[in-house]
Amino acid sequence: MSILSVPLTPKIEKLLNSLVNKDAGETRAQVARTAILKYLEDRFVEDILTSSREAHEGKYFEIDLGALSKKHTK
């Protein structure tokens, strides 16, 4: 596992500490990892919804869900 050191603004640090205090994670690192994974999940869902909307609009599309999944889990 690698370590990433990221400077935080006072506001972000306060929010991060607040999330730990509200049991969003046991540590600040765990909360940050969870936030990154949630972001990737949201992007994946957004791509699926965009494809679905385009299909309903009659736009032709071809989707490889395996490739799309890999794109969002790297």
Euclidean distance between CA atoms 7 and 55, whole angstroms: 42
- Per-domain residue ranges for the chain? 10-73
Q: How confident is the model at residue 61 (pLDDT cuts 50, 70, 90)?
A: low
pLDDT in tens, 35-58: 999 999 999 999 889 888 888 888
Give the predicted TM-score (pTM) of the model. Answer: 0.68
Residue that has been written with the tokens 């799309």 in this structure: 68
What is the Cα Rg of the chain in Å? Answer: 17
Residue 63 has pLDDT above 80, yes or no: no
Residue 73 has pLDDT above 80, yes or no: no
DSSP state of 1: -
Angle at 64 between CA 59 and CA 67, to 5 degrees: 130
